[in-house]
Amino acid sequence: MAQKPSIPKGTRDFNPEEVAKRNYIFNTIKSKFERFGFMPIETPSFENSDTLMGKYGEEGDRLIFKILNSGDYLSKADQKAYDDKDSNKLTSSISEKALRYDLTVPFARYVVQHQNEIEFPFKRYQMQPVWRADRPQKGRFREFYQCDADVVGSNSLWQEVELVQLYDEVFTALKLEGATIKINNRKILSGIAEVIGASDKLIDFTIALDKLDKIGEEKVKEEMLSKGISPEGIEKLQPLFTLSGDFGTQVESLNSILSTSEEGKKGIEELQFINTAISELGLKSAILQLDVTLARGLNYYTGAIFEVSAPNVAMGSIGGGGRYDDLTGIFGMKNMSGVGISFGLDRIYLVLEELELFPETITKSTEVLFINFGEKEALYSLKAIKTLRENGINAELYPDNAKMKKQMNYANKRNIPFVIIVGEQEIENNLFALKNMITGEQQNVNLEQVVKKFS
Amino acid sequence: MAQKPSIPKGTRDFNPEEVAKRNYIFNTIKSKFERFGFMPIETPSFENSDTLMGKYGEEGDRLIFKILNSGDYLSKADQKAYDDKDSNKLTSSISEKALRYDLTVPFARYVVQHQNEIEFPFKRYQMQPVWRADRPQKGRFREFYQCDADVVGSNSLWQEVELVQLYDEVFTALKLEGATIKINNRKILSGIAEVIGASDKLIDFTIALDKLDKIGEEKVKEEMLSKGISPEGIEKLQPLFTLSGDFGTQVESLNSILSTSEEGKKGIEELQFINTAISELGLKSAILQLDVTLARGLNYYTGAIFEVSAPNVAMGSIGGGGRYDDLTGIFGMKNMSGVGISFGLDRIYLVLEELELFPETITKSTEVLFINFGEKEALYSLKAIKTLRENGINAELYPDNAKMKKQMNYANKRNIPFVIIVGEQEIENNLFALKNMITGEQQNVNLEQVVKKFS
């Protein structure tokens, strides 16, 4: 193979620095998840195709990566589809397994399969890669991680309260202070649609409303009209377009719009419960903001809807979630209410990079490199390195007796802040020449002093 | 879907306890890897098929999971293979990508692709899942993790020395004291084959020799004869069959057998270098043992060969590795010597389980559960929980105002060691009733005392 090898488009290699930075984000999220009582599970990378197919809509089905059966897979191919050369119809007869498309459906499958071993309410978190055969573009990959925390088996609104706190805790710990946590409620959207006589057009209505920020009031109204929402209905929406101010003020306007809708009033009540609790408990740095246009994932959310955006940088949402009343229904287990949030690792990474919020320490792995001058010196060095490692210090020996300059270069390029030079004289006097790679300073010290220096 | 969902055979769900135990092993290995100066990289789960195919032999090619192309994949199908319904020949025209089969080939691909960004010698570690379409059986899965540490770009034997130390460090840290690190050298095997006039039968010779433990001397000799090794040659092997004793004694016998083979003598020299250094440096709990019958992965190892077995339990090897002089040659980059070791996560897990070596603390996640008696009590509790969490304590509120017994049950089943009960009286007096779930003891304490208790 003469050509330089490459990787499939939409996938990525991560070098040591990138892995360290990604792990910093993972570990921060993970430790907060556990602080809040969430427990980790892991599911297989591939599932039986019928677990995944039909759960994400037609578009989703197309974007699921299918795994070819092993062996003589054509022997079981659907004959008609084969004769017709119909890719779409042939697939299920030559592929039984497919790569995970998200973490929610495998989680639902897990809950149903293991229902007898699980204590409900079940607070689980999961951080694993998912795969989508999407067209790759900036910030969109074919393999990427999802980080989800969900609770199933409880209707309590305290979960929503805790999830708002959890977002606040994670982003504050990542030094991303001042994130905006937008909140809405599916019941409010349903209530509004009801009030304007467009209950059967809920999806069209919310898709149009969701664009308010981008295309403005007039265009939103045009779109609603074109979808068959009546002018009188749209008239009733007027207060919605000018909704602004704090939580309380917005709730007042909503109360007046939704006075005739039971469902709408229930939605307002839920929002108020969450907002009051959060006001009492306080947030460290995030801001909780009511956003009636927020309609994310409306297909399955039934109560609260969340979305988080980063401060000081245009990046789209870095997290989202909500409540879904029927997570496990697709697998035949009814009445399992769930609520969860997820973190967008790749975007959080880009935000931290742009705002220079990664701590410097995380990319520093080896603290001191011992220069290698030959067998005797190397053995003397390895004895010292052993002691350093026992004291929790990351130390290493340059493996070859190469030119001094090459070894120093290696330390520089790898960002190792100190080297230790050991020659005959040092061995004789039981000393180590410790050199600071930034200042160039060098001093003779004994082993105890080296340990102290790096502890 | 009425049927209970399931997962593909050979794959596994991991529950919170299993994830915690697996992470304990991962984190121990990872921290030792970094202590020794290894840096993490990650590669995509799937590679272009031509990166993987042909690298693992015919059997390997069959066991690689192939991913079906997206869209109308049949439109580009090889027409002849299609007409012949030849699964094997059709695959490459309908599948461009395949799941990673091990971490070594992707690592070689990574080194070649990123050679200009890498500082050599490059010490990398990688812990990621791999997939094989093997027949599942006890302890053999279709998805499993590999944990590899390799150095490329240096011939120095100090690497081998450090890798022996690394094995010792990891297994000692896992409390798996007394692991046996078997070592051999490909050059010794080649030397022996040369001496007995069977250089062209090296593989057959080593496969037979490898069975000495299992089938005994006579059967090994029979097998060698049947493979065409001469009776005179086998005669010369006699000292090998009775090889025993410490490193030094074994080396003496080898010296006498290999006196006429330059390569063999080189192998002995290398072994002696490693053994002397390790004797000087000392091991914490592992035992380094010469095993001339060790032939693991002979197809690619060119120098040292390692294999580790656990103490006090029959489990097969829990780790292995060796030196390969041409890691990246398959991708056109010559003369890159590498040496590495790997850890068998699943077997280590089983060993720790069997010997009851998992620390109890790792499966304890939430330290205290607050019983929920209603809105007012829940809010009072969440304020306290916030303080606990700020002090690094994992605490949670039972989300619903359910029956006391149900909530206590939940704490028990989840192994949460303490609960806190908050009623009106406690709120009035700013106190918390702290109950030990094991002893049943209960006492009234203030918030400061709760924090102190769990810190």
Decide: B107 and B150 in contact? Cβ < 8 Å. yes
Q: Determine the residue of chain A that is closest to B39 in CA distance.
A: A16
Residue B428 CB partners (closer than 8 Å, separation 6+):
none
- CA pair distance A342, A321, nearest whole angstrom: 6
Confidence tier at A298 by pLDDT (50, 70, 90): low
CA distances from B215 to B202, B307, B352 (A): 19, 20, 29
Question: Does B73 show up as a binding residue in the annotation?
Answer: no
**pLDDT at residue A213 is higher than 90:** no
Of B87, B143, B386, the CB nearest to A45: B143
Phi, psi angle pair for B149, to nearest 5°:
-125, 125
pTM: 0.95
Confidence tier at A246 by pLDDT (50, 70, 90): confident
Question: Does B132 show up as a binding residue in the annotation?
Answer: yes
**ipTM at complex level:** 0.94
Confidence tier at A212 by pLDDT (50, 70, 90): confident
Q: Residue B238 has what pLDDT?
A: 84
Question: Does B102 show up as a binding residue in the annotation?
Answer: yes
Contacting residues of B for A41, CB less than 8 Å apart: 13-16, 19
How far is A109 from chain B, CA to nearest CA, in Å?
A: 6
User: Do B6 and A48 make contact, defined as CB atoms within 8 angstroms?
Assistant: yes
- Window 91-150 of A, Cβ < 8 Å to B: 91, 94-97, 99, 109-110, 112-114, 117, 119, 121, 123-124, 129, 131, 133, 143
- A364-454: CATH architecture: 3-Layer(aba) Sandwich (3.40)
Of B40, B389, B395, the CB nearest to A19: B40
List chain A domain ranges.
180-309, 364-454
Contacting residues of A for B109, CB less than 8 Å apart: 5, 7
In total, chain B counts a number of residues equal to 455
Of A74, A386, A397, the CB nearest to B85: A74
The beta strands (E) that lie in A228-328 are given as 287-290, 304-309, 317-324
User: Do A40 and B85 make contact, defined as CB atoms within 8 angstroms?
Assistant: no
Convert the pLDDT of each residue in A97-113 to its tens digit: 999 999 999 999 999 99
Of A7, A82, A379, the CB nearest to B280: A379
Q: Residue A300 has what pLDDT?
A: 80
Convert the pLDDT of each residue in A134-183 to its tens digit: 999 888 899 999 999 999 999 999 999 999 999 999 999 999 999 999 99
Question: Does A301 show up as a binding residue in the annotation?
Answer: yes
**Mean predicted confidence (pLDDT) in A185-197:** 93
- Window 156-185 of A, Cβ < 8 Å to B: 156, 158-159, 161-162, 165, 169
Q: Residue A1 has what pLDDT?
A: 46
Q: Determine the residue of chain B that is closest to A372 in CA distance.
A: B158
Mean pLDDT for chain A?
Answer: 94
User: Do B8 and A35 make contact, defined as CB atoms within 8 angstroms?
Assistant: no
- Window 4-23 of A, Cβ < 8 Å to B: 4-8, 11-16, 19-20, 23
- B180-309: CATH architecture: 2-Layer Sandwich (3.30)
- Window 275-304 of A, Cβ < 8 Å to B: 277, 280-282
Of B34, B74, B399, the CB nearest to A159: B399
Q: Determine the residue of chain B that is closest to A96 in CA distance.
A: B8
Mean pLDDT (10-residue bins), chain B, 455 residues: 82 97 97 96 98 91 97 96 96 97 96 96 97 91 97 96 98 97 95 91 86 88 92 87 84 91 96 97 97 80 95 90 90 93 95 95 88 96 97 95 96 94 95 96 97 94
User: Do A87 and B73 make contact, defined as CB atoms within 8 angstroms?
Assistant: yes
User: Do B13 and A165 make contact, defined as CB atoms within 8 angstroms?
Assistant: no
**Mean predicted confidence (pLDDT) in A120-125:** 97
Q: Determine the residue of chain B that is closest to A143 in CA distance.
A: B44
User: Do A154 and B109 make contact, defined as CB atoms within 8 angstroms?
Assistant: no
Of A332, A386, A413, the CB nearest to B281: A386
